[in-house]
Amino acid sequence: MRREAILNIVLFLLLPVTAGAALLLDEPFIITLATKAAILALAGVGLNIALGLGGLVSLGHAAFFGLGGYAMGILAAHAQSYTPLMETPFLIEGTKSMPVIWLVAIVVAGLAALAIGALSLRTSGVYFIMITLAFGQMLYYFAISWPAYGGEDGLSIYVRNGFPGLNTLDPIQFFAIAFVVLALALLLAGRLARSAFGLALSAARQNAERVETVGLAPYRLRLVAFVISGAITGLAGALFADLNRFVSPVMFSWQTSGEIMVFVILGGVGRLYGPVAGAALFILLEHVLGGLSEYWHVYLGLLLLMVVLFARGGLIGTVAGREVAHD
Amino acid sequence: MTTILLIEQILNGLQSGIMLFLMAAGLTLIFGVMGLINLAHGSLYMVGAFAAAAVAAATGSFALGLVAALIAAAAAGALIELVVIRRLYDRDHLDQVLATFALILVFSEGTRWLFGSFPLYLDVPAALSGPVTLPGGILYPAYRLLIIGVGLLIAVGLFALIARTRIGIQIRAGEADREMIAALGVDISKLYTLVFALGAALAGLAGAMVGAIQSVQVGMGEPVLILAFVVIVIGGIGSIKGALVGALLVGLTDTLGGVLLPLGFGAFMDQSAATSIGSALASMSIYILMAGVLLFKPTGLFGEG
Amino acid sequence: MTDRAILRVENLSKSFGALKATDDVSLTVMPGEIHALIGPNGAGKSTLIKQVAGGLRNDAGRIWFDGEDVTPLGTVARARAGLGRTFQISSLAMEYTVLQNAVLGALGRRGGAMRFFAPVMAKGELRERAMGALERVGLQDHAMKRTADLSHGQRRQLEVAVALTLEPKVFLMDEPMAGLGASGSKSMTGFLDGLRSEAPILLVEHDMDAVFALADRISVLVYGKIIASGGAEDIRRDPVVREAYLGAEDAA
């Protein structure tokens, strides 16, 4: 078996084993950390479809993360205050049901990705980076200046949303939900990478001219990838908001975009399990370094700098080497 | 709205636009010459502001503060160019984004560690703190007028530098063809350090001058950096002229949008709703401007192609 | 009007600044023929191929393909219409295996790139078509090699194999012999000789032995203009060609 395959199994088991051990030791805070890692990994899995497969350096994925968060916040806020979202031309009410919220988050983030992608994919390279960053910032300022949903202060949700048959307030049950969603997303991303679409998309990253010459349009491939990517990151945003029972414009900020990208890179760009490794490492660092120093971002910055300059494959690349799947 | 108020807002737009130009000019120069996207440019803006605030507080001289801002930002720029940035020229944009994002983390937290989380204040010198009377009887703060003047002078100086001097010729040659300029016997790595330090100094100066109007705090640079990116997308990468036109457009749109949109909506709906919708839309106006330019000219107003 | 020509180029021009890369070029490719395009370096051959393939906008002129005016279409649409191009400098997905590159071609031919779940490299129609093309150019034993690890000659062969998977109505080949070596050139010459019955070829080539052995018609491009066009013997004897192409002293 290839080393990466073994590592993937270890990474996949890392979070549930941690959460399970924490349950036995009665450490609910550790379960919450594992849940956070699973959700952030999910956001990274989304970005990795655009970044790793498609080569699209999006610095604006906070837009989708935040939209997912606000989809949850707005629906749940209306449900908890028993006021409808709108009454004309037809009635839309809030909801406290996770599956419904997820669906809304996926659709809203996907549509936003379609609009942002359609514009920004007209360009490439540095332009693309700057434009995605700018659109993310646009939503950030919009969230701040729109007073109806808390403006700068954000929205608090008093009780976590429900999932049929489960008690979501129990940390281990909420972890199970987040982990299953992550596992499904990994399954989807893995299938995607090996599909006809993945072959064409990844070819467009390596050589767009080649893809055009066989009669496939890189723009369409990239746009679809960007939409799938944004939708998954949006779903992660909804879960993240539910974890904190709070949404604020910070979810839209450029730091959020940067951090989601950091998960992907710390783990290993283009590796299916890279975001899982990266998010787990990030949470671990935040916990350990954050305990040592209030200014732990300095160390995170230095570590990231070292990874970029000297260990380009990230964690998985360093352990598993440069071998690539040939099938 | 009165004409006087409108003229005042136009001047405010010019002032913020010209400061954006100082940021965007450095970024676009660095991209044009070295092919590098530098997210840490906002950190250099912050370094300039903190240096100015610290030196002005210690010496009581605003002018010395400005000099300190120039020196500190240029030195910080040269330092990161020598230690980190030059390893990134041959890397792809993703690596450049990540490494310079890492630099932001180091600069921001390092500054917080040195100066604490509370904002510093940089006072406008007494001689400039009052208003001056413009033709037509408009009162306008002298300091803001000075900023516009200094910014325009620097713009003229930059154009002259690029168009007429030896170093400008080297910069233009470097944009066209890296190998050719090396073949001409120019020390490329020295030129790159110089261009980077120049861009950094401009950012630092902007940070110090704006710092006297707003507060000096960690994280002040990145919103300006992103605005400067919008400027470059509108103006076209690598074009100083594009940076100037883009910066003024963004400055004016942002300032006037914030005033005019709530007023405009107020004409046909009640005031509080108009204010909230107007200001929400105003916060998006420059991005909508950017989207419009992208639709019709994906490479920017003065970009190639 | 019935147009027998598969490809018809009419009065095509393209300038880069003051340089006229192609200048009022007209030519046709008829069914079953190899039409070779020769000319000294910098004559505009690659520009012309690029214009025909759709990668470069024309300043003037029209391109007809299989009876349709394809002038307004881009590269993607022209490839779908049946133009199979190979590049002078290999343009392949370098991280992929040889087989993956060929499957990409087969995918382009079949369509259905928006399928998200089924493994594309599984045994089936695409893989068979791709393996078939690799066998025809003699790359079947290298199918699992990384493309970046191929020699220049092998990359050339892979370029041709990918074009084969497209089953085009006409091939546009930009120097398929370059880097092949003597024996490689010979077998490629034999291969192209047989290929013309499947689809005609517009062939840019520097290997004159191959050109004179293969071409039904030869056009000579100099400074962006076609200065002569005809059978191999006509071109060999044409004094204008000898002067422009071989240099004045040889023409004497």
- ipTM confidence: 0.91
Q: Is residue A327 part of a domain?
A: no
Counting one residue from chain A and one from chain C, the pairs whose CB atoms sit within 8 A come to 107
Enumerate residues 257 to 286 of chain B having a beta carbon within 8 A of any beta carbon in chain A. 276, 279-280, 282-284
Domain contains A221: yes
Per the CB < 8 Å rule, is B97 touching A57?
yes
CA distance C221 to chain A (A): 25
Say if residue C70 is in the same domain as residue C185.
Answer: yes
CA distance, residue A146 to nearest chain C CA (Å):
38
Q: Answer yes or no: do C72 and C32 share one domain.
A: yes
Restricting to B residues 128-187, those with a Cβ less than 8 Å away from any Cβ of A are none
Q: Is B298 on the interface with A (CB under 8 A)?
A: yes
Choose one of C165, C188, C220: the last residue of a domain: C165
Please state the rounded mean pLDDT for residues A32-48.
97
Q: Indicate the number of domains in chain C.
A: 2
In a domain, A326, yes or no: no
**Domain interval for residue C220:** 1-82+168-252
| Domain shared by C110 and C127, yes or no | yes
> Chain B: nearest CA to A167, how far in angstroms?
38
Q: Which residues from A are below 8 Å from C87, CB to CB?
A: 209, 213
Taking only the tens place, the pLDDT of each residue in C151-165 is 988 999 999 999 999
Nearest to B229 among A130, A148, A298 (CB): A130
- C125 contact A CB<8A: no
Q: Are residues C160 and C230 in the same domain?
A: no
The low-confidence residues of chain B, meaning pLDDT below 70, are: 1, 174-178, 180-181, 304-305
Mean pLDDT of C173-183: 87
Transcribe chain B into DSSP letters: --HHHHHHHHHHHHHHHHHHHHHHHHHHHHHHHH----TTHHHHHHHHHHHHHHHHHHHS-HHHHHHHHHHHHHHHHHHHHHHTGGGSTTS-HHHHHHHHHHHHHHHHHHHHHHH-SSPB--PPPGGGSSEEEETTTEEEEHHHHHHHHHHHHHHHHHHHHHHHSHHHHHHHHHHH-HHHHHHTT--HHHHHHHHHHHHHHHHHHHHHHHHTTS-B-TT-HHHHHHHHHHHHHHH-TT-HHHHHHHHHHHHHHHHHHHHHHHHHHHTTS-HHHHHHHHHHHHHHHHHHHHHHHHHH-TT-TT---
Do the Cβ atoms of C121 and A212 come within 8 Å? no
Closest partner residue to A197 (CB to CB) among C96, C114, C146 is C114
Q: Give a yes or no: residue A291 inside a domain.
A: yes
Q: How close does chain B come to A298, measured CA to CA in Å?
A: 4
- What subunits make at least 3 CB pairs under 8 angstroms with B? A
pLDDT tens digits along C189-228:
999 999 999 999 999 998 888 999 999 999 999 888 999 8
Beta-carbon separation of C162 and A206 below 8 A? no
> Does the distance separating the beta carbons of A134 and B229 come in below 8 Å?
yes
B/A touch flag: 3 or more CB pairs below 8 Å: yes
Are C64 and C177 members of one domain?
yes
Is residue C195 assigned to a domain? yes
Q: Does A147 map to a domain? A: yes
**pLDDT for residue C115 is more than 80:** yes
Most confident stretch, C21-30, C175-184, C236-245: C21-30
Interface test with B, best of A132, A141, A302 (most B CBs within 10 A): A141
Tell me the count of A-B CB pairs closer than 8 A. Answer: 119
pLDDT at C131 over 60: yes
Mean pLDDT, range A93-104, rounded to an integer? 94
Minimum-distance CB partner of A216 among C76, C100, C103? C76
Residues C105 and C116 in one domain: yes
Same domain, C74 and C172: yes
Is C159 contained in some domain? yes
**In chain A, how many domains are there?**
1
CATH number at residue C223: 3.40.50.300
Which chain A residue has the Cα nearest residue B110? Answer: A298
From B62's Cα to the closest Cα of chain A, the distance in A is 30
Residue A204 lies in a domain: yes
Q: What is the pLDDT of residue A191?
A: 96
List the domain range (segments joined by +) for residue A13: 3-320
Q: Which residues on A lie below 8 Å from C161 (Cβ)? A: none
Residues C215 and C161 occupy one common structural domain: no
Task: Report whether pLDDT(A19) > 90.
Answer: yes
C105 in a structural domain = yes
User: What is the per-residue pLDDT for C248?
Assistant: 47
- Which of A145, A255, A262, A285 has the most B C-beta neighbours within 10 Å, making it the best mutation to test the interface with B? A145
Residues C160 and C173 in one domain: no
pTM over 0.90: yes
Reduce the secondary structure of chain C to three states and give it as a string. CCCCCCEEEEEEEEEECCEEEEEEEEEEECCCCEEEEECCCCCCHHHHHHHHHCCCCCCEEEEEECCEECCCCCHHHHHHHCEEEECCCCCCCCCCEHHHHHHHHHHHHHCCCCCCCCECCCCCHHHHHHHHHHHHHCCHHHCCCEHHHCCHHHHHHHHHHHHHHCCCCEEEEECCCCCCHHHHHHHHHHHHHHHCCCCCEEEECCCHHHHHHHCCEEEEEECCEEEEEECHHHHHHCHHHHHHHHCHHHHC
Please say if the pLDDT value at position C251 is more than 50. no
C88 lies in some domain: no
| Segment A258-298, tens digit of pLDDT | 999 999 988 888 889 999 999 999 999 999 888 888 888 89
Least confident of A124-133, B121-130, B223-232, C21-30: B121-130
Is C91–A209 a contact, with Cβ atoms under 8 angstroms apart? yes
**Contact residues, chain C, for A208 at CB < 8 Å:** none
Residue of C nearest to A207 (CA): C93
- Statement to judge: residues C172 and C251 lie in one domain: yes
Decide if C203 is inside a domain: yes
- Asked if the structure places residue C204 within a domain, the reply is yes
- Co-location of C75 and C194 in the same domain: yes
pLDDT band of residue A121 (cuts 50, 70, 90) is: very high
Q: Are there at least 3 beta-carbon pairs closer than 8 Å between A and C?
A: yes
Does C114 share its domain with C130?
yes
Q: What domains can be seen in chain B, in order of their start residue?
A: 3-296 (1.10.3470)
Nearest CA in chain A to C122: A327
CA–CA min distance C50, chain A (Å) = 11
Q: Report pLDDT for A268.
A: 84
Residue C252 has pLDDT above 70, yes or no: no
In a domain, C87, yes or no: no
Report, as an integer, the average pLDDT of A192-203. 97
A100 touches chain B (CB under 8 A): no
Among the partner-chain residues A196, A207, A213, the one whose CB lies closest to the CB of C113 is A196
